[in-house]
Amino acid sequence: MTKAIEWISTPAGGFLRLIDQRALPATTAYLDITTVAQLIDAVKTLAVRGAPALGAAGAYGIAVAMLESKRDGWGEAQLRAAFEQLADARPTAVNLAWGAKQVAAQYSHGFEAVLTAAHKIARADEAANRKLSQLGADWLTSKLGKHKLRAITHCNTGALATTAWGTGYGILHELHTRGQLEMVYVDETRPLLQGTRLTSWELTQDGIPHLVQVDGAAASTILRGLVDFAIIGADRITANGDSANKIGSLALALACARAQIPFIVAAPYSTVDATTASGDLVEIENRDDAEVLELAGVKLAAPGVKAFNPAFDVTPHDLISAIVTERGVVEPAVTQQPLFAP
């Protein structure tokens, strides 16, 4: 299994090793992170990405900051400012700030306490991956039966996006292991192609049959009856069950509602933000125009053209058949609100 994120201990304390997801699948390269600036750059450029992996990156980032602070003689104010900058490096996935803040709370107890807290977050994510994968596969079997299922997914929710097997991907993997998965339709996931580059790479490694399609094919694939369910991850799930995820997720939910097939959101509980009432309050990250207007560095649009590049959309809870976390499965479309309490 690919390790997207790993703490490497050394006599001087250690560093954070990330697989550089920008280079995949052509090149498997690693980034050894020793400064907060390097980590913020890795987060902003999606060298590390996916909400649970960002949670672990935020957590280990506090350890990185403490070692850097010691090396460079920072004062406490500078260190605390670095904690904040790290937590704010991307706004939509709640896990990043959550991981950074959980671990920063251990700061006064020293480096070892910080590192222990970061390891605890990473291990809890692994356990959550395993548990929710089983719960999600059980739920799908109870709704759709034991015959081989066909799925559609969007973005990347596998090992690269988490600390272990994945969330939505974990459920697909579990179904595959149980002999209950026939085919996965993988949205390419414009503009950064997490589906084509990352999900398809992971499915290939796991020997899971799949087809990559353009995002624009998704609604038609669903309405033509080519899939039995859709499954995605989440960057933030609000108290009422609204779920923010990669731009294009909402289109799948709308099509599933029309086709009357299950639309499933899978995430560790650390992605639940019960302090935010509903999805309209979630900050949606807007990214650079060049991601839309260029392909592999080649300009596609006429000079002067501007882009609209929101990285995420919000699926309202009434379009979601099930939210699967390690704590259980809730059915937002039929359950009393709010679903999650702080």
Q: Please, which residue, 102 or 153, has the CB nearer to ligand MRU?
A: 153
Q: How far is the CB of 162 from ligand MRU (least distance, A)?
A: 5
- Is 273 one of the catalytic residues? no
Please give the Cα distance from 286 to 227 (Å, whole number).
31
Q: Please, which residue, 103 or 244, has the CB nearer to ligand MRU?
A: 244
Q: Please, which residue, 49 or 210, has the CB nearer to ligand MRU?
A: 49
Q: Please, which residue, 36 or 192, has the CB nearer to ligand MRU?
A: 192
Q: How far is the CB of 250 from ligand MRU (least distance, A)?
A: 12
In single-letter form, the type of residue at position 163 comes to: T
> Shortest Cβ contact with ligand MRU: which residue?
233
Please give the Cα distance from 270 to 233 (Å, whole number).
12
In single-letter form, the type of residue at position 342 comes to: P
Q: How far is the CB of 342 from ligand MRU (least distance, A)?
A: 22
Q: Please, which residue, 135 or 234, has the CB nearer to ligand MRU?
A: 234
Asked if 253 and 319 count as a contact pair (C-beta separation under 8 A), the reply is yes
Q: Catalytic: which of 125, 215, 235, 273?
A: 235
Q: Cβ-count burial of 209 within 10 angstroms (0-12 exposed, 13-18 middle, 19+ buried)?
A: exposed
Q: How many Cα atoms occupy the beta-carbon half-sphere of 71 within 13 Å?
A: 12
Which residues contact ligand MRU (rule: CB under 6 A)?
A: 46, 49-52, 93, 155, 157, 161-162, 167, 194, 232-235, 245-246, 311
Please give the Cα distance from 58 to 38 (Å, whole number).
13
Q: What are phi and psi of 14, to 5 degrees?
A: 130, -175
Closest alpha carbon to 62 in 25, 105, 32, 30: 105
Q: How far is the CB of 35 from ligand MRU (least distance, A)?
A: 21
Please give the Cα distance from 176 to 167 (Å, whole number).
14
Q: How far is the CB of 71 from ligand MRU (least distance, A)?
A: 30
Please give the Cα distance from 187 to 198 (Å, whole number).
11
Residues labelled catalytic: 235
